[in-house]
Structure 1
Amino acid sequence: MIELRELRLAFGPRAIFDNVSAVVNKGDKIGLVGSNGAGKSTLLKILAGIESPDSGEVAKPGYATVGYLPQESLVAGSRPLYDEAESAFEGIVAMREKMARADAVIRSADPSSPEYADAVSEAGEIERRLEDAEESKLRSRVESVLMGLGFKISDMPRPCSEFSGGWQMRIALAKLLLREPSLLMLDEPTNHLDIESIEWLEDYLKSYPGAVLLVSHDRAFLNGLCNRTFHLSGGRLETYAGNYDFYEAESAARRLHLERAAENQRRAIEKTERFIERFRYKSSKAAQVQSRIKALGKIGRIELESGEKRIHFKFPEPERTGQIVLDVSGVCKSFGARKVLDGVSLRIERGERAALVGVNGAGKTTLAKIIAGAMKADSGRVELGLNVKMSYFAQHQTEELDKSNGVLEEALSAAPMERKGEVRGLLGSFLFTGDDVLKKVGVLSGGEKNRLALAKMLLRDFNFLLLDEPTNHLDMDSKKILADALAAYRGTYLIVSHDRAFLDPIVDKVYELGPSGLRAYPGNMTSYIEKIKAEGRLNLKNSPAAKKPASSFKERKAEAARRRAEISAIKKNVARLEGEIAAAEAELAKIEAEMAEPDFFKRGARCASAAEAYSALKSEIDALYSEWDRASALLEEPQSGG
């Protein structure tokens, strides 16, 4: 459907994309993964036409449309929520306006006049087109999507300007889902969603009729939705035919295979080089030496990307606390007329590893601030137990960083003497490597400041951790490092988060904060979600598969005729290409097996001929795949019936 052809892009000496090619087909649900700074968001912007590559192109058929939701996308203006979302259907809205004008003429014109007859004819045509577009179902579709993303029916008439930034993002997401582009691109779509909305969105996107390409650090979301994974690293794009777990396993297997082949090649090359060096000046061996020199010059060296060093971080042994670590009783908090917390009580015991969840606006962050002493409750009490030393992390703590310090200096300021040797390693685990640790805090991005604040918090002396959304702005590796450290931690913690995959292996109790107060669910996140599904609070099976607005009758007939005329020839061409690809790949596999053999370089002229054949076959296979992708994309075009 949409093809990336040899994209190249560099920022100074650094190559962001180096000959990146890929095909996105209808129905693909693709997770785009890679380390922070690999170019994931840039690739989405190129596909959306917002940015341009230095060379290469994005090819797509004329019918294909692209929709893009960046990480930050605010809705301006004061239109009511429902009207803003409904504006995604521009064609239907325009037809309604035409119908209103035609109705006005019909009501005011003389029934015997030409104007009256024209208006009646136009109204009839518009009515037919609205029926084709299923206009009668529009309200239910719009409300269903908005409610799936967490809005209530009572929100529909509210002006968009009344909603906070996170809810503004949901409005933008709802409009994009309703617009239903051929390629839907989402950059960190779960960042502003609660668990119930994430579950709804995952289910909705599974039945999305177009292609989906998304950047996300939510492992559970990627695993539940994606059937393909694109990995971007070092300017190169690798494709995997499965979800994130499949990508991890397959990527490790590919690297292991490549490492073995590279080691065999290295040994063979060293042996050949020793032969050349030993017999370089012996006339009796001159022919053999020259043959091997030529073979070495032609062989394609196997290059391995440097593997990222796995950093392990371990919390120190915490001081033992009393049995009761935290006791919250009857806490109330209101903001103006809005009561956020109403008599909330909570007791955390020693060794408890708990998550605090709930819909956005339920008061999770407010409760965390009250527990930490960063906000006063209107009533109720909060008591820490015997010997409890609490360390608290929240997004606002970036304001407490000293902007004049370097990153390393700022982190060292929080570390007790016995832990100062751990600081560089901990900073590395949160993506501050090399000269990054010398950057001034004042020039860091918002995400970098959040990571630094989290690192500082983890260096303090504590035995009770209170974390509010700690995984925001962390990539997969950093989240894994933090999760591993928490799993091994022998203290107590309470974590506010909507990241299911992060929480699942490290919590044994889930507290849900809702309108009726706080409710405890023993078990991990998987257990919690299963329980609320059983309670009927996740109405996922009724999530509507989006329906494409119908085109006109004439357009549908023309499209169907065109497809019937072409389909047979396209299928034959695809079958032919698949046969040629299979034959070429089989031949390539034979050559690769031969080249991986330790004594390959003993074979003289065969080395050169094998290298030439290998290079030619690679080029041939790449060309065949490009042709096959284009032909297959034609088969994926929407087919319309008459």
Structure 2
Amino acid sequence: MLQLENISLTFGEDTLFDGISTIINPGERVGLVGPNGAGKSTLLKIIAGEINQDSGTINMSKAATVGYLPQDGVDPNPDLTVYEEVESAFEGIQKLEKAVQQAREKLANLDEGSPEYQKAMERVGSLQSKIERSGAYSLESNIEKILMGLGFTPEDFNRSTTEFSGGWLMRIALGKLLLQRPMYLLLDEPTNHLDIESLRWIEQFLSSYDGAVIIVSHDKAFLNKITKRTLALENGELFDYAGNFDYYKEKHADYKEHLRKAYENQQKEIKEIQEFIDKFRYNASKAAQVQSRIKQLEKMDIIELDEREEEIFFEFPPPERSGAVVMELEDVRKQYGKNVVFEDLSYTIDRGDKIAVVGPNGAGKSTLIRIISGIEDIDGGNREPGYNVTTSYFAQHQADELDLDKTVFEIMRDAAPKATETRLRTLLGCFLFQGDDVFKKVSVLSGGEKSRLALARMLLMPANFLIFDEPTNHLDMQSKSILQQALQQYEGAFMIVSHDRDFLDPIVDKTLEVRPETTNTFVGNVSYYLEKVEEREQEADASQDNSESNKKNGLSRKEERRIAAQKRQRKSKKLKPLKKKIEPLEEEIELKEERKQEIEDLMAQSDFYDDEDRVKEISMEYEKLKGELVEVYAEWEELAMKMSEIEEEFS
């Protein structure tokens, strides 16, 4: 159990947390949401012990482990390969293996009948048991499984970490965390650096993760799939919702409507009281009543509405009409050194096309849209823009091209000299630059702020063909919604590289899948594409099964049946004693898990912590139960692995 009790934190005159408290139970899936600047990342850092709160306490058991993935800034060892960097998370296992080796060497030099030999044997057995429980024997396969799930190829395993970009380094850090399986896994925007395939994989992984997971993310589809509870930070307070993000939005909207009505009623009451005070302030006969109302105003708990939640809209200016064909690629070739990215690539973009570009990282998505935008040269073939096509392109690196000496507002003014100040400020507000933020120098902005400014500037430039490379990575949910609504009404064509299904689905009508050496177009949104991918994978699996079963072996059907029967008998004979051992273990696990769940349900009750003796007794039972479960699971896994090997032997 992870308990936050009365956590407070201020930065200068701003109160970030005002005595917030909550409990995270083992195994929970929690989304942490709130507007940019509400303190989501800061709260994760406090839980992880990266920074200290001003007051309040973080309580958890001594056995609890916490794993934290920041948004950026990971720093792997440059002297290690990808595989070695991930493996370094298991220094404890490596120390155990070294201790076993040393104990065995000592054992070889002792007399078998001596007491020292018996002690050394016991030490070897104890160390060996610890190694088995640690999962060391499946470590190699687990590392490979997780790295490949995150998009690395076997060829990448032996490459130096220095060869990878920041996004891939974040994946390495994520892989280390997932392998360590901490009791509390804290993930800050984990999907920003993933492609669609890696995103699907991590969703499956986290769905079966046995620890608690706390996720900060602006990907609504990801939160809805993973989380069952939502904590919302707002104005220094923490609100708890017993459901996923969609559930939170519904209940939060109800709360805001109730708050708005209460605000309006209170403002009406304040106005009436103030009018009375102003009217009778100098009336001696009403002096007592006036003083009473003044005190009433002073004691009133004033309701405030969050100005950041006001509805903001942005509309693209109507673009000039282009020809029927916006862009045509014919037999395009592109390579970097010996790496051929595209060969004989042909693709046509028509007026009004709304295209999502998806596929594994490294397949060439960004290269393709740079070619289409005209900033990347091709090595063969033709790139032909259509009649009257004007292109506007956004990529993350464009943030580095901003003039550091200018203010946010000056950057926008330079891009659209004829635009009104109201329009410029409205657009900047859409991308989280409010009030005096517009007068900040570009040099003091964070990387995310620069990206948002570059995106806002791009949207000012009139064009009938928009190209975006990961535009939503640094946007909060409100900003994404504003951009999404504007693109829904946009009359021109656009292409977007993104993994954010919730953002893409309502605005695209085609999905272009880019894979090494091939591209495929799906007439539908990203969810439709993913359905077709699953069907394709299922058909491929069925085809492989049929191919293997239809192999001719030259035996008669009768002989085949006899051999198959003998094979089943041998397999059954080997499995029977293992099944006899594993069945009571499964019953024991079921009973212990039921009791564990009962205790967790007790811990979740608000009055559980009122009785200190009861808390101590139940907590001791809970910790003991978890230890027993670890041992039983280890024994079960060993038997299950042996059964799996037998199944594989006879498959």
TM-score by length of 2: 0.80
1:31–1:213 contact (8 Å) kept in structure 2: yes
Match of 2:157 in 1: 156
The whole-number CA distance in structure 1 between the counterparts of 2:281 and 2:19 is: 39
1:628 and 1:267 map into 2 onto residues whose CA distance is 50
Using the alignment, how far apart are the partners of 2:598 and 2:402 within structure 1?
66
* Alignment partners' CA distance in 2, 1:506 and 1:105: 69
Partners of 1:416 and 1:461 within 8 A in 2 = no
Q: Distance in 1 between matches of 2:435 and 2:530?
A: 41
Aligned to 1:550: none
Structure 1 residues 146 and 304: CA distance shift in structure 2, 3 A = same
> Is the alpha carbon distance of 1:625 and 1:38 closer, same or farther for their aligned partners in structure 2, counting shifts above 3 Å?
farther
Aligned residues: 577
* TM-fit CA distance, 1:194: 0.6
Per-residue deviation, 1:106: 4.4
Matched, 1:9 2:3: no
CA distance in 2, matches of 1:572, 1:211: 17
2:481 equivalent in structure 1: 480
Change (3 A) 1:629 1:252: farther
| 1:309-343 CA-partner distances (Å, limit 9, x unpaired) | 22211111111111111111222222222222233
Counterpart-to-counterpart distance in 2, 1:415 and 1:501: 31
**In the alignment, what sits opposite 1:467?**
468
Residue 609 of structure 1: aligned partner: none
CA distance in 1, matches of 2:378, 2:611: 64
Matched, 1:238 2:268: no
Query: Partner of 2:607 in structure 1?
Result: 577
Give the CA RMSD over aligned residues. 3.6
The offset of 1:538, in angstroms, is 13
Give the Cα separation in 2 of the matches to 1:39 and 1:509.
Answer: 37
Distance 2:348 2:237 in 1: 50
Cα 1:350–1:277, aligned 2, differ >3 Å: closer, same or farther?
Answer: closer
Residue of structure 1 equivalent to 2:60: 60
1:48 aligns with 2:48: yes
- Structure 1 pair 445–277 and aligned structure 2 pair: CA distance change class (3 A): closer
- Higher mean alpha-carbon deviation, 207-216 vs 119-128, is at 119-128
AA partner of residue 208 (structure 2): S
Identical positions, percent: 48
Q: SS in structure 2 opposite 1:536?
A: helix
The SS at the match of 1:398 is helix
Contact 1:229 1:241 in 2 (8 A): yes
Superposition pairs of residues 182-331 of structure 1, within 5 angstroms: 182-267=183-268, 300-306=301-307, 308-331=309-332
Q: Say if 2:25 and 2:600, in contact at 8 Å, map to a contact too.
A: no
Residue identity opposite 2:509 in structure 1: D
- Structure 2 distance, partners of 1:522, 1:512, is 11
Counterpart of 1:228, as a letter, is R
User: Secondary structure of 1:230's match?
Assistant: strand
Q: Which residue of 2 aligns with 1:339?
A: 340
Query: Runs of 5+ in structure 1 lacking a partner?
Result: 540-556, 579-622
Q: Which amino acid aligns with 1:480?
A: S
CA distance in 2, matches of 1:57, 1:299: 31
Structure 1 residue 112 displacement after superposition: 6.8
Question: What does 1:117-132 align with in structure 2 at a 5 Å threshold?
Answer: 118-132=119-133
Question: What TM-score do you get using the length of structure 1 for normalisation?
Answer: 0.81
After TM superposition, give the deviation of residue 119 of structure 1 in Å. Answer: 4.1
**Residue in 1 aligned with 2:380?**
379
Partner of 1:138: 139
Native 8 Å contact 1:532 1:538 kept in 2:
no
Q: Quick check: 281-290 or 408-417, which moved more?
A: 281-290
Q: Distance in 1 between matches of 2:516 and 2:31?
A: 35
Task: Determine the structure 2 residue equivalent to 1:494.
Answer: 495
For the residue of structure 2 that corresponds to 1:87, the secondary structure is helix
Q: What secondary structure sits across from 1:356 in the alignment?
A: strand
SS at 1:322 equivalent = coil
Residue 634 of structure 1: how far off its partner (Å) = 8.2
In 1, Cα distance between the equivalents of 2:606 and 2:413?
64
Tell me: higher relative CO, structure 1 or 2? Use CA pairs within 8 A at least 6 residues apart.
1
Q: Hey, what does 1:430 align to over in structure 2?
A: 431
8 Å CA contact 1:26, 1:636 repeated in 2: no
CA deviation profile, 1:384-435 (whole Å, cap 9, x unmatched) = 0111111111122223322222211111111163677522211111111111
Question: Could you list the per-position Cα deviations for residues 149-173 of structure 1 after superposition, in whole angstroms to 9, with x for gaps in the alignment?
Answer: 1122333343433333222211111
What displacement does 1:113 show?
7.1
Mean Cα displacement is larger for which, 304-313 or 500-509?
A: 304-313
User: Matched residues in 2 for 1:217 and 1:348: separation?
Assistant: 30
Question: Following TM superposition, by how much is the alpha carbon of 1:140 offset from its aligned partner in structure 2, in angstroms?
Answer: 2.5
- Higher mean alpha-carbon deviation, 75-84 vs 349-358, is at 75-84
Residue aligned with 1:310, SS:
coil
- 1:389 maps to amino acid: T
The worse-fitting range, judged by mean Cα deviation, of 499-508 and 97-106 is 97-106
Distance change (3 Å), C-alpha of 1:404 and 1:154: closer
Q: Secondary structure at the match of 2:89?
A: coil
Aligned to 2:20: 20
